Amino acid sequence: MIIEVLKKNGRMTDDKLLDQVRAFYPDVSVAELNKALMTLEMNGFIYVVSYARGKKQVELRWERLGGQH
């Protein structure tokens, strides 16, 4: 779900990403999102960088997905 949202919307902050995911899965917690982001980052599918106080910027690694953006 996270990858599909990022494919559609491009780079996003984690709070905006959470809003998009909650549109389909309303019960998703911040902790669950962070765990999923960590797993995706460790497997090379996304970049997560500090963006602003307490926020993170999330971006797809398009080369890992085998496509262009």
Burial class from Cβ neighbours inside 10 Å (0-12, 13-18, 19+) for residue 9 reads exposed
Average pLDDT of the segment spanning 2-12: 94
Q: Extract the tokens encoding 68.
A: 């262009």
Q: Which residue has the tokens 């997560």?
A: 48
Contacts of 2 (CB under 8 A, 6+ apart): 17, 21, 33, 36, 37, 40, 46, 58
Q: What is the pLDDT of residues 21-65, one digit of tens each?
A: 999 999 999 999 999 999 999 999 999 999 888 889 999 998 777
Domains in the chain with CATH codes: 2-62 (1.10.10)
